[in-house]
Structure 1
């Protein structure tokens, strides 16, 4: 039996072309290498799981490949030094790097030093690093990576060329998961991948971890039902049904359905915030210019467009305000269930109150 390799490692990008969602940065780095305009101190900053360390490793290999005629199979492993500042944040580790930097590489043109989570270095370590970072030897390149740029002292920041990595979009993440599903021989529903991508909240590594977990649960058939059950999230059908009941002013059925949701173990605040997001998505569908802001699959988009035709814009504005207020008050409430039930009653009363005003 072969050992299992998690998708985040198995499908870790080997080239800049494989990196998802960071096209501007990878193109800039490629052009800088080709035109010999690469700075000797680079800082990669951004949220977790978006490709900072991966890009640093790809860049480290590519720099030496582009700098001369070498064996294409050479990975220049002896030229790349990687330090995890989270567990090696003292001044001694930095002094060791400073001592190594002076020695030129035996193979290739550059020695590359990757310091991950650089914001974890102590002040003494930062100060010991300053002079080397300001005047590095011609053969040395430093690539620093961090999730918290604001914790790095300004004197270090001023010596680096800074690259801000952005959160991966839901659509880009979904397409990447779709490609992996095909490679793994997994039949995946687009909406199921959409839920995984949204749950990952902009971090590609998180999406791959969730994907592995759900595949372990469901096998080769990845369905919306399997994803919602495993991740304990409410599916969109629940919100479509609740919205229809609100428009019908059907308070008794709303209370019954909410009881079922509670029985399944879902948090009331999660339900209320999801309902507010659903109203937002319906509002987005009310104008052709904003429909592209709806990050869902085509099948789900048609459902949104259909329900949006039956919902008044005034209702959505009031509904979002009521739902957001309930979300804000939830933690402070002593009777959280009653708060959500009152919120549902208020939401169901919007259209009936408007109807009464028109009759008057």
Structure 2
């Protein structure tokens, strides 16, 4: 007797033998048992999930000699003929090869005749979406009102191509893809019944390669049996399918975890010996990282669909969550850039080396960099080393900008030093100068004397300073020294009336170049305050804003104080550090510790975070502790609250230091400057716990 392939030999003969599709079988079984039969059924789904098989079982249920039921006998002549494919009243039509309207009309001409042997004449039309529009139109009337002895069973892999008029006339059942777990279970049963040795890893490879199709899984199993000489081994199946060994992917991830560049290059060399698709290798890495991220957030949600659940859980325990997210994002970007690399292997190696070079560092081990402040003393340096200070390069507000060059004024030396000042509001006395009329422009256009231009430069440096950032510009040394300007002259220059009269009266006509064209000949562009898109009102709002209200909590004492001292020494990071920082120690009786976690910060709390916190405490104390975390609002201060209070106190000290600085007070009095509270930060802010 000739060999029968597994897909045909193990084809279900009844609903009880079906694997999966319970949502479809339940409806059909109840309809058959209660005799509530529809005249047209449509089965949709991918290839090899059981569409035609279910249709043939329905044909047996309708025509079995024992009567209409969901459990045909399987031994009567009609059931045997249907199983053998020779029942005369079961008309199977391949719509892919009979798409013409003439074929459909020929088929429908025989609908009116009664069945020869069975109760019903069953039309099984496979791949019905391949019919032409004319064929569908010819089928519509019969499909809507067929004779009582006719049943239509339609099957398709592409229901979107069916006309809505056909869909509305059928009961539609959508069959799902087979998950790898179900495929592996069925293959285990089949191979055990066939007495064929197999390895479980090989079945998982076949289950994933089947891609949801049970028929494909059976066909691949037949091929694996032939390839392995009667055995189904993982190495043979991997060689037959040309798939990547997941162990090598985990080897790459472990090398990344250990920061082992040599191990990474060695792993790539082993991969290259198999001649893999490097884009596919990167995709497998991303799949593993995705499963690791799920395991870290919700361990019980990790399935064994790829046969590596234990490996994923182990990797989730040792790989920081920050690294997982970083590697996944870097892999996505690397996969996008892989076609641009000189060759796929070098591109893959660069992705791994980039992951290794830029992987997140532990914030507790990272060196703290002291910020070097720009003090007032630096801005007001010794005139011997900085002849002209405070000449910031700024754009004037509401002042026309000339397109032709203006006669350069005489060099200025040792003007009164003015440091860039951060100010949040402008007094009413200075506001008219900000919106100056073109008279100020005329004073700038002519060539003033060296002494008279210094106050204007000083005022511009204060009023027109861009407050978003301090701009430091090199200033050329003066050619000739000039006596410094008295503070009284600078104070008078702030008043707009004094500035206007000075500009008009102090410049003699003899100082103006006779060859200089009149001001009306210049092309200029008007620039107003709106061009700078600065919200002056926001400064006042920020200055008057209420200070942040910190959460109220009693000062930590006893065990809570011990927890404040212990927590920074645990070396936690990421979500686990956030969970621990919002806890307080309630009791520590021997090896049993009880922590209370603020419910407001418990959204990311799960068993993984509790285990990591427990492991950190075990490692610190050198013994096994049993840590229990309960959701309860702590009555005493937590590390997070202590850090917040400390930051707030340091902020208040910094603001008080700025407000009490005599140099800044002098600037406020002389230049009408104000201080932006939101720009003040402590110089050496401590690392968050």
Normalised to the residue count of structure 2, the TM-score between the two structures is 0.50
Give the distance between the partners of 2:37 and 2:337, measured in 1 at CA. Answer: 51
Q: Tell me, yes or no, if structure 1 residue 354 matches structure 2 residue 361.
A: yes
| Range that drifts further, 47-56 or 58-67 | 58-67
Q: 1:289 to 1:242 in 2, by over 3 A?
A: closer
Give the distance between the partners of 1:354 and 1:262, measured in 2 at CA. Answer: 30
Which residue of the partner structure matches residue 227 of structure 1? 237
Give the distance between the partners of 1:270 and 1:264, measured in 2 at CA. Answer: 13
Give the distance between the partners of 1:212 and 1:246, measured in 2 at CA. Answer: 39
Give the distance between the partners of 1:145 and 1:334, measured in 2 at CA. Answer: 48
Aligned match for 1:87, one of 97, 102, 125: 97
Which residue of the partner structure matches residue 68 of structure 2? 67
Give the distance between the partners of 2:302 and 2:288, measured in 1 at CA. Answer: 15
Cα deviation digits, residues 261-303 of structure 1 (max 9, x gap): 1231111011100111111222232244543434244xx3223
Aligned match for 1:315, one of 323, 327, 332: 323
Q: How does 1:122-137 map to 2 (within 5 A)?
A: 122-137=132-147
| Range that drifts further, 29-38 or 142-151 | 29-38
Give the distance between the partners of 2:50 and 2:111, measured in 1 at CA. Answer: 26
Cα deviation digits, residues 193-247 of structure 1 (max 9, x gap): 1111011111111111111111111133322212111111112211121111111
Which residue of the partner structure matches residue 284 of structure 1? 294
Give the distance between the partners of 2:51 and 2:341, measured in 1 at CA. Answer: 41
Aligned match for 1:170, one of 162, 170, 180: 180
CA contact (8 A) 1:170 1:202 kept: yes
Q: 1:73 to 1:329 in 2, by over 3 A?
A: farther
| Bigger relative contact order (CA 8 A; separation at least 6) | 1
Secondary structure at the residue paired with 1:56? helix
Aligned match for 1:154, one of 164, 167, 188: 164
Q: 1:108 to 1:295 in 2, by over 3 A?
A: same
Q: How does 1:1-360 map to 2 (within 5 A)?
A: 2-65=1-64, 66-67=67-68, 72-75=76-79, 77-288=87-298, 290-297=300-307, 300-331=308-339, 333-351=341-359, 353-355=360-362, 358-360=365-367
CA contact (8 A) 1:64 1:110 kept: yes
Q: 1:354 to 1:25 in 2, by over 3 A?
A: same
Give the distance between the partners of 1:333 and 1:61, measured in 2 at CA. Answer: 59
Deviation at 1:329, TM superposition (A): 3.5
Which residue of the partner structure matches residue 548 of structure 2? none
Give the distance between the partners of 1:146 and 1:13, measured in 2 at CA. Answer: 19
Secondary structure at the residue paired with 2:125? strand
| Range that drifts further, 340-349 or 319-328 | 319-328
CA contact (8 A) 1:79 1:111 kept: yes
Cα deviation digits, residues 100-121 of structure 1 (max 9, x gap): 1100113222110000000000
Q: 1:10 to 1:350 in 2, by over 3 A?
A: farther
CA contact (8 A) 2:299 2:313 kept: no
Structure 2 residues without counterparts, runs of 5 or longer: 368-689
Give the distance between the partners of 2:280 and 2:214, measured in 1 at CA. Answer: 23
CA contact (8 A) 1:119 1:146 kept: yes
Deviation at 1:350, TM superposition (A): 4.6
Give the distance between the partners of 1:238 and 1:291, measured in 2 at CA. Answer: 24
Secondary structure at the residue paired with 2:78? coil
Give the distance between the partners of 2:90 and 2:336, measured in 1 at CA. Answer: 49
Deviation at 1:14, TM superposition (A): 0.9
Secondary structure at the residue paired with 2:88? helix
Give the distance between the partners of 2:210 and 2:339, measured in 1 at CA. Answer: 24
Give the distance between the partners of 2:225 and 2:119, measured in 1 at CA. Answer: 44
Give the distance between the partners of 1:313 and 1:356, measured in 2 at CA. Answer: 14
Give the distance between the partners of 1:285 and 1:219, measured in 2 at CA. Answer: 39
Q: Whose Rg is larger? A: 2
Structure 1 residues without counterparts, runs of 5 or longer: none
CA contact (8 A) 2:89 2:122 kept: yes
Give the distance between the partners of 2:318 and 2:230, measured in 1 at CA. Answer: 38
Count of equivalent residues: 356
Deviation at 1:183, TM superposition (A): 1.3
Give the distance between the partners of 1:29 and 1:123, measured in 2 at CA. Answer: 30
Give the distance between the partners of 2:170 and 2:340, measured in 1 at CA. Answer: 45
Cα deviation digits, residues 12-41 of structure 1 (max 9, x gap): 111111121211111211111111112101
